[in-house]
Amino acid sequence: MSKKIFTVLLLAVFMLAQFSIASAVAVTGDASITAIPDFSSGTDVDLDWAATGMAAGTKNILVWGREYAAVPVAYDPADCQLIATIIGTSDASGTFTYDFTTTANLNALATGDQVEFTLSVDDQTCATADVPAIDSVMGVNYVDASAPFYIQGNPPSTAAVAASLDTAACNTFEYWALGRDASVFVTTEAYSGFGSWNPQVTGTFAPPAPMGPASSLLSWTFAFPATATGAWSASIAPEDAAGNINPVDYFRSAVNVVPAELEDCATFSDISWL
């Protein structure tokens, strides 16, 4: 091969490489976040999205996240995630779960942090795509990474044992609990609110559901039928609206129903108020 031909070929390869680099630009299409929860647990959050005005060819819908700062910082490709790849010109929509745990800068969020999101349409994936403008924000989400705290009580008992091994003094009794999601230390910190007690019962009969299971006050009344036998459990797992949940906590854990629990509770009709 002559030196002249080699030089021409080298120049052609260089020009093709330059064209390839230059073609890695955002393509026609508009994407937006249509809905986002007010709070996340700091692990992930569901984003509803839609894309319109698609150009021909292959397009990638990308979501970019960053933690809020008074002086905004540039979006980082390490915090970008691929929502969908669209081939053709059709519109598209859906729900995407943005996973904080797989990002570089958002994998250690704490309660009270705020995350900003924006979308872009590109023919490239996150590593080589155009980074959105620093002032581009389509949606925000506060982080509530703390499970609610609570206190709970068992019915009167004649047994001096641990609460989860307790038995009731008669056949009708009440479990109760009081929970709170807001911090008692930082009263201005955003929080998602109490969600559910997640009550569970196992045993030989099904008692009624608790009163107001989505409330911060649990009042759960039971009445053992005369035929109740065997091991019986009752538990809660308090959860807030962001999905943070406490481990299962037992009022009673596989304790056999005892004869005293099948007897009617005593009444004192001969006592009156003075």
Q: Which two tokens stand for residue 85?
A: 């790849």
Cα torsion through 218, 185, 243, 203, rounded to 10: -30
Per-residue pLDDT band for 12 (boundaries 50, 70, 90) equals very low
Residue 268: inside a domain = no
Residues 196 and 110 in one domain: no
What is the residue-wise DSSP string for 200-243? EEESSS-PPPPBSTTSSEEEEEEE--TT--SEEEEEE--EETTS
Cα-based torsion angle of the residue sequence 68, 74, 75, 79 in order, rounded to the nearest 10 degrees? -80
Query: Is position 193 within any domain?
Result: yes
Q: Above 80 in pLDDT, residue 135?
A: yes
Distances (CA, A) of 51 to 32, 119, 137, 272: 6, 10, 16, 73
More confident residue, 220 or 9: 220
Tokens found for residue 72:
């905004």
State the DSSP H helix or E strand holding residue 255, giving kind and residue range, or none if neither.
Answer: strand 249-256
Are 196 and 232 part of one and the same domain? yes
Report, as an integer, the average pLDDT of 2-14.
46
Strands 114-122 and 172-180, by their bridges, are unpaired
pLDDT at 72: 95
- Greatest C-alpha distance within the chain: 121
> Are residues 124 and 154 both part of a single domain?
no
Residue 269 domain-assigned (yes or no)? no
Pair (104, 166) in one structural domain: no
In a domain, 6, yes or no: no
- Structural domains in the chain (count): 2
Residue 2 lies in a domain: no
Q: Judge if 200 and 92 occupy the same domain.
A: no
Question: Are 49 and 78 in the same domain?
Answer: yes
- pLDDT over 70 (residue 13): no
Does 131 share its domain with 220?
Answer: no
- Residue that wins the pLDDT comparison between 94 and 221: 94
H or E element that contains 5: helix 3-22
- 201: how many CB neighbours lie within 10 A of its CB? 18
Q: Which of 143, 172, 205 is the last residue of a domain?
A: 143
CATH code of the domain containing 99 = 2.60.40
Same domain (yes/no): 100, 170: no
Give 77's pLDDT tier (boundaries 50, 70, 90): very high
Whether residues 133 and 35 share a domain: the answer is yes
- In a shared domain, residues 53 and 38: yes
Same domain, 117 and 198: no
Q: Which H helix or E strand runs over 22?
A: helix 3-22
For residue 12, tell me if it sits in a domain. no
Q: Is 20 part of a structural domain of the chain? A: no
* pLDDT for residue 230 is more than 70: yes
Is position 17 within any domain?
no
pLDDT digits (tens, 9 = 90+) for 177-222: 999 888 877 777 888 989 999 989 898 877 666 655 445 888 888 8
**Total-model pTM:** 0.74
Higher pLDDT, 244 or 6: 244
Last residue of a domain, one of 143, 161, 193: 143
Q: Are residues 54 and 115 in the same domain?
A: yes
Q: How far apart are CA 51 and CA 70, in angstroms?
A: 29
Determine the structural domain holding residue 46 and report its residue range: 26-143
Decide if pLDDT at 44 tops 90. yes
**Among 143, 175, 203, which residue terminates a domain?**
143
Residue 2 has a pLDDT of 56
